[in-house]
Amino acid sequence: MLACTHPFSMVILFAATELAPYAKTGGLADVLASLPSALGSRGHQVRICLPFYRRAIRKLRSLQSMGIELEVVLGRTKHVAHLWRGQTSDSPPLLLIEKDEFFDRSYLYGPPGRDYADNASRFFFFSKAVVQIAQRLSPRPDVLHLHDWHTGLAAVIARRECPQIKTVFTIHNIAYQGKFPAADFELTNLPWEYFTPEGIEFYGQINCLKAGIVFSNRVTTVSPRHAQEIQSPGGGHGLEGVLQAHRQKLVGILNGADYRRWNPATDRKIPASFDAGHLKGKEICKEVLCRELGFPSHTDPLFLFLGRLVEQKGVELLLQATPYLLSWGSQIAVLGTGTPKWEKALEELSRQNPDRLHLQFRFSERLAHRFLAGADFLLMPSAFEPCGLTQMYALRYGTLPIAHATGGLADTIQDAIEPFETGTGFLFSPYELPAFLSACQRALRVYQDPSTLVGLRKRAMGKIFSWDEAALQYEAIYQDP
């Protein structure tokens, strides 16, 4: 048995495929770096179950074999995995499932723009192993908290094999659902009665996200507004009917922000510290950033796009708006990776405006801190955004977000309209270029009035999105019969 040593009020096992800084492609990793810790600080015994990504081993503080083998059957093939115990600098203990055949790879899910062909096997294996671990923990978990489609099958297996363990399934991005051909169903080793419209079948395919929704005791998503949006036509990316049918167990809980890592008053990654009462440091950060990026001026407004270059994030609107912003005397920095066609389109714009459009097609947390500290405005024209964390970090750094009024963006940004005496950023709707440009023009009018800009920055920096509050709400979900 896997012995747990300290009795707390609840034993909670998280299962996910990402955890910052161990393995990260998006916001899921940041949530797993914060929510389990917040629950642990409230007296709960928390463990996090992850794939053992060999490429991320250097980011673990400690690592030891637990001397435990897991036997996982996929179809007619038995796979043997080994269990390790690890920890990052500030996470609860990690239970790492070692299976090099599946997890010793260059990417988490596949090369840019593609998925690995065997992702069904990889994540069916992971889901089955998670349930085995939950059954072997001592004391057994009260709650198995699953995250995104990669763990959806675990909800089905847990319902069959250990129904006394409550399952909570969190949807971080409903656009990614884990769809696989019906032929892969044999890898689940489930009876065919599960491959029905009432089960995990969806238009002739396996749908792992649907599996998590249907078979978990409770379902959450990462902002209140998004919980409503995903039940509307189109907002659920095809699953709105399933979510409506299970709406009694669906709730939206707003993510928090990790202010241990994202705090300009203590951030060692930025050139100068600052807070709402002392904004000189932000001016220094902008001067340094403009010099590093080769911009001709540190007095012109500086817009930042920070994130994945994919359709969800509104890259098409960004491309359409960029010539206007540049013609209005602005400078733009882009930091992120994504779809090659969007990168090429941005490169073409950069060739036409080399001194005012700076591109870095990579992700670096160090640069993310420096860019957020130095920029004036953050562009977030997302088509949809379940929660978003970048706008929360931007607010803390006095970098005013310009965002589509959707999901967590609408839940976290108060729209600033003239005479700009209230608000923390600029929202636009509908999702069209004129509305986006109008919000950018409002931001530029604020920039031209230093006293108004300072007031808006101070209000933005005063907004706090606490993981402690989120942990309280998850506690209520866990305890709800």
Q: Where are the domains of the chain?
A: 2-256+467-479, 280-461
**CA-based end-to-end distance of the chain:** 27
Question: Which pair of tokens denotes residue 280?
Answer: 């000189």
What DSSP string runs through 266-287?
T-TTSSS--BTTB-HHHHHHHH
SS3 65: strand
Annotated binding-site positions for ADP-alpha-D-glucose: 24
**CB neighbours of 203 closer than 8 A, spacing ≥ 6?**
none
The sign one gets for the Cα dihedral 114, 120, 124, 125 is negative
Is the CB of residue 320 less than 8 Å from the CB of residue 349? no
* CATH number corresponding to 2-256+467-479: 3.40.50.2000
Q: Which two tokens stand for residue 33?
A: 């770096």
Would you list the DSSP string of 246-267? TGGGEEE------TTTS-TTT-
SS3 assignment, position 15:
strand
Residue entry with tokens 């309280």: 472
Bind-site residues: 24
Q: What pLDDT does residue 363 have?
A: 83
pLDDT by 10s per residue, the chain, length 481: 554 544 458 999 999 999 988 999 888 999 999 999 999 999 999 999 999 998 888 888 889 999 999 999 999 999 999 999 998 877 899 999 999 999 999 999 998 778 999 999 999 999 999 999 999 998 899 999 999 999 999 999 999 999 999 999 999 999 999 999 999 999 999 999 999 999 999 999 999 999 999 999 999 999 999 999 999 998 999 999 999 999 999 999 999 999 999 999 999 999 999 999 999 999 999 999 999 999 998 999 999 999 999 999 999 999 999 999 999 999 999 999 888 899 999 999 999 999 999 999 998 889 999 999 999 999 999 999 999 999 999 999 999 999 999 999 999 999 999 999 999 999 999 999 999 999 999 999 999 999 999 999 999 999 999 999 999 999 999 998 6
What is the phi/psi pair of residue 108, to 5°?
A: -70, -45
Distance CA 308, CA 380 (A): 11
Q: 251 has which bridge partners?
A: 220
CA distances from 220 to 48, 167, 232, 295, 388 (A): 18, 11, 16, 43, 15
What is the rounded CA–CA span in Å between residue 183 and residue 269?
49
- Give the list of residues 6+ apart from residue 215 with CB closer than 8 angstroms, or none: 155, 156, 158, 159, 167, 200
Alpha-carbon span 402 to 431, nearest angstrom: 13
Contact 75, 189 (CB under 8 A): yes
The pTM of the full predicted model, rounded to 2 decimals, is: 0.92
Burial tier of 89 (Cβ tally within 10 Å: 0-12, 13-18, 19+): exposed
Distance CA 455, CA 435 (A): 24
pLDDT of residue 276: 96
In what side-by-side order are the strands of the sheet with 45-51? 62-74, 77-87, 94-98, 45-51, 11-15, 143-147, 166-171, 218-221, 250-252
Identity of the amino acid at 208? C
Domains 2-256+467-479 and 280-461 share a fold: yes
pLDDT at 62: 84
Instruction: Look up residue 238 and give its amino acid.
Output: G
Q: Looking at the domain covering 280-461, what would its CATH class be?
A: alpha beta
Alpha helices by DSSP H, listed for 85-218, are 100-103, 119-136, 152-161, 208-215
